Structure 1
Amino acid sequence: MTFVRTKLKIERMGQGQVLEVRLKGKEPLENVPRSLTDEGHTVLINEEVAEGEGVHRLLVRVKG
């Protein structure tokens, strides 16, 4: 579900814009960046923001 929400937001954005996504949990952290890359978007940053809590921040540049 996390990827679907991210994809819907990206579809409303312009080419080259940057989206911040927060992820929690192992599965979204593995799947969302991979799926975004597969669709041609660029993951600029993938960093842990809440150490020990498993919360990560992605910055994604919309393809184009």
Structure 2
Amino acid sequence: MTVAETGPDQRLDLRGTPCPVNFIRCKLTLETMASGEVLSVTLDRGEPEAMVVPGLEQDGHRVEVEDGDDHWVALRVICGGG
């Protein structure tokens, strides 16, 4: 079974959560996860998206944009084990 078939291992809805708190919550959650596990994150567009996505990538995680609208974005973060 692939990761896509099993869905996320954990979820965070961070809409309305300011920077850098949203990034810190993602980072702390990912620290509890094994390499290859998937974290689903929903956050606001704009600064949160612009700060969280590159920050997670710099920490060694793969980030994919899955869904969203003008106000929010859903991310699929594959834990890099970092």
What TM-score does the superposition give when structure 2 sets the normalisation length?
0.68
Q: How many residues of Structure 1 are paired with residues of Structure 2 in the alignment?
A: 61
Q: Is the counterpart of residue 56 in structure 1 residue 76 in structure 2?
A: no
Task: Classify the secondary structure of the residue corresponding to 1:33.
Answer: helix
Q: What displacement does 1:25 show?
A: 3.5
Counterpart CA distance in 2 for 1:47 and 1:55 is: 11
Tell me which of the two structures has the higher relative contact order, counting C-alpha pairs closer than 8 angstroms and 6 or more residues apart.
1
Moved over 2 A (4+): none
Structure 1 unaligned regions, length at least 5: none
Q: 1:9-38 deviations in whole A, cap 9, x for unaligned? A: 001111110100001141111010000000
Q: Is the counterpart of residue 33 in structure 1 residue 50 in structure 2?
A: no
Counterpart in the other structure of 1:46: 65
State the superposition RMSD in angstroms. Answer: 1.3
